[in-house]
Structure 1
Amino acid sequence: MRIRTRTTRRGTAALTVAVLVGLTGAQYAGAAGAGDGPDRGHGGDRPGAGRKVLRQDVAAVRTAGGGKVKVLAEVRDGRTRVRARAGSGRPVPWNARFRAASTTKTFTSVVLLQLADEGKLSLDDTVEKWLPGMVAGNGNDGSRITVRDLLRQTSGLYDYVEDPELAGALRDFDTHRHDATPAASYVAVAMRHRPLFTPRPGGTPRWAYSNTNYLLAGLIAEKAGGLPWREQVEHRVIAPLGLRGTRVTGANPFMPGPHARVALPIPGKDGKPLDVTEHSLQHGADSAVISTTRDLDTFFRALMTGKLLPRDRLAQMKETVERTDDPEDLAAWPEGGYGLGLRDNPLSCGGRYRHHEGDGFGSYTRTGVTEDGRRAVTVSITSDGGLPDQERLNAATRKLVDHALCGRDG
C-alpha cells in the first residue's frame, strides 16, 4: 500500500494521507554504529562497483529525508554485492525486513502472467467474467475492464485509498492498526465513487494509478489458480527463488526477523512519534509483501532473465503505455511508462531500467534492474519520526538508482 499524498500515494491506502500528509521518510537503516553518516560495506562485499558513490548517495538520500530517516541500499552485479546504510542511533541490520508496499504489485503481476501462460485465464478476460457483479454501480462496469487493464492501470477505477471516509477513520491509527479488511470490502469502497474514465475497446489507453486494480487482480488470481493469492505468491515466486527473507503478511501485524522500528511524526498515546511498525493494514495483493534488499534484487534479476516468465510473457509485462490522467504520478516519476506491474525509466548512461516503487506508513522502497537483469539495486527507507520532503527524497533516490545501475565507480 502507499501513503497517499500525491507523490507517494500509490500503495498504502489513502491511509497515510489521512494519518499524515505526505510522509515519505522511511527509517533508513542505521549507519556505522550509533553515529551519523554513511556506513561502509559489510562482509561479502567486493571492492569497486561504485561503493564510494553508493555511500555518498545513501548519505544524500538521508539528507533529503530531513535526517530523520534511516537508509539501507544494496547493489547486485553478478556475484558482486555492494551495500551501504546511513542513519543515527541503532543501525538497521544488513538483512533487515521491511514492508515493500506497492512493490508487491510486480509479484502479483507475475502470478497473473503465469496463470495466463498456463491457460487458466486470459489477459483479455473481463473482470465481470471472474468476479460477477463486483465492479458495478456509479458508472463502474466490470464487463468493460480486462485483466490487462487492471495490471497496467488503465481501468479508470477509483483508488480506494483516496476514499475520505476511509482516510478519516485511519486518523485514529491505533484503533484501526489491527484491522484486516477483506479485499472485496475495499473494492466496495471504490464502487461508491464514479470511475475517472472507462476503457474503450480499440481506443488509446488512458492511465491512472489505482490500488483497487491490484486488489481485483488478486481476487481473480484466487479464482483462476484455486488457491489464496498469498499462497500462490509463495509457491510461484518466493520458494522457487529461495527468497528466505520474504513473506506475504496476511493479517499478521508483526514483522518477522530483524527489522527497523518505523515512526511517524505525529504523537502517539505516550506523546512520542507514533510507532507504526506493527499493523495489519497492508495485507492485500496491492501491498502485502515484506522483503529484504537482497531478496528484491534477486527477484528483479530473476524476472528480467526469464526465470519467472517465458520470453513472450515477459515481453508483455514490459510493454508500456503512456501515463495520461494522473498528474501526481507524473510529478513523482517525470519520465517513463507503465507496463504490467512494472515501470520503465531512462538511464543517464543509455538504455532503460525497470522497477516498481512502494510507499506505505513510513516505509519506502525503491528498486531498479537493468534490461538484461545483470545489475539490480534496492533501497529501503524508513521513517524515524520525521517528515521528509517528498520531491527531494524522490530526486535523491532516482540519482542513487541511476548511479548504481550505470555502474559508476568511486
Structure 2
Amino acid sequence: MPTFRALLAAPLVLSLLVPGTACPSSEPHLTPAASYLPRLLVQGGAPAAALLTRNSATAPGRAYASAGPGIGQRDRFRAGSVTKTFIATVILQLAGEGRLKLSSPVERYLPGLIRGHGNDGRRITLRALLTHTSGLPDHAAGLPAGTPSMTGRAGPSGRPPSAEASVRAASARRPAAAPGRYAYSNTGYLTLGLVIQRVTGHSYATEIRRRVLVPLRLGGTSLPGARTGLPAPHSRGYYRDPRDGSLRDVTAMDPRLAGAAGEMVSTLADLNRFYAALLGGRLLPPSQQATLLNTRTAHGAYGMGVYPEKLSCGVTVWGHNGRAPGSYVRTAATRDGRHIITFRINTDTLSDTRLEPALLEAEFCRP
C-alpha cells in the first residue's frame, strides 16, 4: 500500500493509443482532461486514476492516461450504477419488441411485490422505475460503500438478501418522495431486473449478455453474480474510512446486494464502446432512442438509465456514474456518442467533488 507521499510523487503515465500504429512521438497530443488525473490523487485522495477518451469527430484512435501506481488500461473494475444503463437498454428493447409497456404498472409483471406504507405496485409504472420517479425508498440507503452490509456479508446466513426480499423490505418503508418527483432509488432498478426475468424467462444478466455484450464484443464486461473476485487483469480497490482517512482493501466483495442496480464489472474501453453505440442509435429503434433521452418525467434530471449534464460552454453530455466499494467510474459523451470519456479511480469517493465537473469541462469545453 503506497504512502501518501509516494502518491504525490507518482509520475503521470501518458500514452496515445491509435489502433494498428505506434505512438508517433515522445510527446503525443493528449486530451485536456488528462491534466486533471494528478489532481484526483492529490486533491481527491484517490490512490490511482485512469481515463480513456475517444473523439471520432476530430481524430482517429483513442487517448489513454493514468496516474498513480497499480492501475492499467485493460483493468476490470466494478462499474456500480453504470449497470442501470444496461438494464434500461434491455427494457427499452423489450418495449420496442412489444413485449412490455412502459406505461404498465409493476403489478402486471410482479403481482403483490410492492405493497405497504404508500408504496403500491398497482400505481407505479415501469416508466416511473426507469426515471426514478416511483417514490420507492432506496434499499441501499444508509449503507456506506465498503461496509460489511454493502459487501453483502451482513445477513445471518452470510449471504445478502434476494432482490425480491430487498424490494419487499424497501416497500415496507415510507416513500422516499411523492410519486412523480425525482428521487434516485436503487430499488427501482432491482425491480426492473425482476421484470426482465418475468417477461423473458431469463435473468437480466443473460439478456444483457445476449442483447448487448455479445453484439458489441464487450469482452471485458461481465455480471459476476455471486463471484466475489474480479477477473484478471485488475487493480486493487480501496475504501476510505471517513473516521480516520485510512484505506482498506475491498477488492473482493459479494456484489449480489447491488444486483441489477449495480453489480457489473467492466473496462474503460468497453464502457466507451457501449455508450458510443447506445447514443449513436445502434442498440435502440428511433422511438425508444427518443424515450431514452427524454427527461420530462424526471423534470430534466434523468432520462432512462442515463442523465444529462450541461457544461459551462453550453455542451450537454450524457452518461452515468457508478460507485461500488473500491471503485468510482464516470462516463460522459456528446448526444451523438462521437466524443466520449470514461474515467475511474480505485476508491469509491473523491474528497474534492469539484474535480469531476472540472475534468468534464476540460474535455468537452476546451479546444
**TM-score normalised by length of structure 1:** 0.78
Q: Does 1:217 align with 2:192?
A: yes
Q: Which of 340, 360, 363 lines up with 1:401 in the alignment?
A: 360
Would the aligned equivalents of 1:140 and 1:195 in 2 still touch at CA under 8 Å? yes
Deviation track 1:374-398 (CA, whole Å, cap 9, x = no partner) reads 11100111129xx742xx2x32122
Deviation track 1:90-149 (CA, whole Å, cap 9, x = no partner) reads x31210111000011000000000000000000001011111110001221111100000
**SS of aligned partner of 1:144:** coil
Give the superposition deviation at 1:321. 3.7
CA distance in 1, matches of 2:187, 2:194: 11
Q: How do 1:193-272 and structure 2 match up within 5 A?
A: 193-199=173-179, 205-266=180-241
CA distance in 1, matches of 2:13, 2:43: 17
Counterpart of 1:97, as a letter, is R
Q: How do 1:98-109 and structure 2 match up within 5 A?
A: 98-109=77-88
CA distance in 2, matches of 1:254, 1:178: 17
Q: Does 1:114 align with 2:106?
A: no
CA distance in 2, matches of 1:50, 1:179: 49
Q: Does 1:81 align with 2:62?
A: yes
Give the superposition deviation at 1:169. 6.4
Residue in 1 that maps onto 2:122: 143
Classify 1:371/1:167 alpha carbon distance in 2 versus 1 (closer, same or farther; 3 Å): closer
Give the superposition deviation at 1:173. 7.4
CA distance in 1, matches of 2:142, 2:238: 24
Where in structure 1 are there 5+ consecutive unaligned residues?
1-26, 28-32, 200-204, 325-335
Percent sequence identity is: 34
Q: Does 1:61 align with 2:40?
A: yes
Residue in 2 that maps onto 1:72: 50
CA distance in 1, matches of 2:239, 2:170: 27
Would the aligned equivalents of 1:248 and 1:288 in 2 still touch at CA under 8 Å? yes
Higher relative contact order (CA 8 A, sep 6+): 1
Classify 1:171/1:249 alpha carbon distance in 2 versus 1 (closer, same or farther; 3 Å): closer
Q: Does 1:188 align with 2:188?
A: no
Classify 1:171/1:182 alpha carbon distance in 2 versus 1 (closer, same or farther; 3 Å): closer
Structure 1 range deviating more: 342-351 or 370-379:
342-351
Classify 1:170/1:262 alpha carbon distance in 2 versus 1 (closer, same or farther; 3 Å): same
Residue in 2 that maps onto 1:333: none
CA distance in 2, matches of 1:232, 1:358: 21
Would the aligned equivalents of 2:146 and 2:326 in 1 still touch at CA under 8 Å? no
CA distance in 2, matches of 1:281, 1:223: 22
Residue in 1 that maps onto 2:4: none
Q: Does 1:124 align with 2:88?
A: no
CA distance in 1, matches of 2:337, 2:345: 23
Would the aligned equivalents of 2:152 and 2:255 in 1 still touch at CA under 8 Å? no
Classify 1:52/1:164 alpha carbon distance in 2 versus 1 (closer, same or farther; 3 Å): closer
Classify 1:46/1:82 alpha carbon distance in 2 versus 1 (closer, same or farther; 3 Å): farther
Counterpart of 1:276, as a letter, is V
Give the superposition deviation at 1:50. 6.0
Classify 1:379/1:120 alpha carbon distance in 2 versus 1 (closer, same or farther; 3 Å): same
CA distance in 2, matches of 1:160, 1:167: 16
Counterpart of 2:136, as a letter, is L
Residue-pair matches, total: 351
CA distance in 1, matches of 2:255, 2:67: 28
Where in structure 2 are there 5+ consecutive unaligned residues?
2-6
Q: Which of 358, 365, 368 lines up with 2:329 in the alignment?
A: 365
**TM-score normalised by length of structure 2:** 0.86
Residue in 2 that maps onto 1:274: 248
